[in-house]
């Protein structure tokens, strides 16, 4: 009887410690196919973070929020980080970034119902003055376009902008190339997909998508070191390549 009592007391004391041993870190993001799909748990980035968490000995909890709230949650320490974010001069003044979690390029998308391509071209952003450029508030390009005086017309999502592009309400819409084509093929029939195209010059060529964190989050520097080491382990083990292939992405290092 005494033995059982001792065991029960030890379990009562030890189990809460075990439960607390696995640290939970909140990661803010939004639905962003093909990186974060409506089926969140079965998406590329959440699955990647599951593998990184195993290496770090932490559990990541993914929270779906509007993009501006993602950034605010990081600033307020309601979330450790937000994904996936590009580095910009403005962001680097306020946030810290992990090593790249994925590399992608971005292009301006256009649409011509007659199938004539390309209708627009540019070598410098200033060449696009006078055109109606679709966008989403809070995205990396917002400050770039404002600086050179482009005519921005904002919507709430990629889907809305692509529909406006087809309807002729905007002339161009910048998007990650993989994401843009993914959305176009999901939204429109093949005969309309064929009338979409991208401008030849990329807006960004092979830039990184990162975990964005607050420098003032407790132990942030140490957490980022652990995160980057775990990310590298996942890549070198072949798990990263498997996830990229599973979700139909392109492997780039």
Cα 46 from Cα 38, distance rounded (Å): 12
Q: Are residues 218 and 126 in the same domain?
A: no
* pLDDT tens-place string over residues 181-226: 989 999 999 999 999 999 999 998 877 899 999 999 999 999 999 9
Q: Are residues 77 and 126 in the same domain?
A: no
Cα 212 from Cα 93, distance rounded (Å): 12
**Structural domain contains residue 12:** no
Q: What is the pLDDT of residue 204?
A: 85
Count CB-CB contacts under 10 A for residue 15: 10
Residue 15 binned pLDDT confidence (cut-offs 50, 70, 90): very low
Q: What is the pLDDT of residue 253?
A: 58
Q: Are residues 112 and 185 in the same domain?
A: yes
Q: What is the pLDDT of residue 118?
A: 72
Q: What is the pLDDT of residue 21?
A: 54
Q: Domain containing 126: what range?
A: 104-205
Stretch 95-113: mean pLDDT, rounded?
94
Query: 184 versus 3: which is more confidently predicted?
Result: 184
- Helix ranges restricted to H, 97-238: 141-148, 158-167, 177-187, 190-193, 220-236
Please list, in sequence order, all residues whose beta carbon lies within 8 angstroms of the beta carbon of residue 210, skipping any fewer than 6 positions away: 83, 84, 85, 86, 87, 97, 98, 99, 100, 101
Strand partners, 174: 108
Q: Are residues 120 and 93 in the same domain?
A: no
Contact between 82 and 36 under an 8 Å Cβ cutoff? The reply is no
Count CB-CB contacts under 10 A for residue 21: 8
Q: What is the pLDDT of residue 9?
A: 41
Stretch 35-55: mean pLDDT, rounded?
96
Q: Assess whether pLDDT exceeds 50 at residue 18.
A: no
Share above pLDDT 90 across residues of the chain, in percent, rounded to a whole number: 72
Q: Assess whether pLDDT exceeds 60 at residue 6.
A: no
* pLDDT tens-place string over residues 51-72: 999 999 999 999 999 999 999 9
Q: Are residues 108 and 166 in the same domain?
A: yes
**Structural domain contains residue 251:** no
Q: Assess whether pLDDT exceeds 50 at residue 10.
A: no
**Structural domain contains residue 78:** yes
Number of domains in the chain: 2
Q: Are residues 165 and 153 in the same domain?
A: yes
Q: Are residues 62 and 143 in the same domain?
A: no
Q: Any idea what the CATH number is for the domain that residue 173 is in?
A: 3.40.190.10
Distances (CA, A) of 93 to 90, 96, 159: 5, 8, 30
């Amino acid at each position: 009887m005494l033995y059982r009592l001792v065991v029960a007391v030890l379990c009562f004391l030890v189990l809460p410690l075990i439960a607390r041993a696995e640290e939970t870190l909140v990661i803010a993001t939004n639905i962003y196919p093909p990186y974060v799909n409506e089926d969140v748990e079965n998406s590329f980035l959440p699955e990647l973070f599951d593998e990184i968490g195993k290496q770090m000995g932490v559990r990541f909890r993914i929270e779906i929020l509007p993009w501006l709230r993602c950034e605010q949650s990081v600033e307020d320490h309601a979330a450790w980080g937000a994904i996936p974010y590009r580095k910009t001069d403005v962001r680097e003044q306020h946030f810290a970034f992990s090593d790249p979690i994925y590399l992608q390029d971005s292009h301006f998308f256009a649409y011509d119902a007659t199938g004539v391509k390309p209708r627009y071209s540019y070598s410098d952003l200033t060449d696009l003055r006078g055109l109606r450029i679709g966008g989403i508030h809070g995205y990396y390009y917002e400050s770039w376009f404002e600086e050179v005086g482009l005519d921005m017309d904002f919507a709430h999502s990629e889907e809305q902008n692509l529909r406006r592009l087809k309807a002729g309400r905007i002339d161009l819409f910048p998007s990650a190339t993989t994401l843009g084509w993914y959305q176009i093929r999901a939204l429109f029939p093949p005969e309309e997909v064929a009338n979409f195209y991208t401008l030849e010059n990329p807006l960004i060529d092979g830039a990184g998508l990162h975990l964005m964190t607050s420098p003032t989050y407790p132990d942030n520097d140490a957490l980022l070191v652990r995160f980057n080491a775990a990310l590298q382990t996942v890549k070198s083990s072949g798990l990263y390549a498997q996830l990229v292939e599973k979700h139909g992405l392109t492997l780039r290092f």
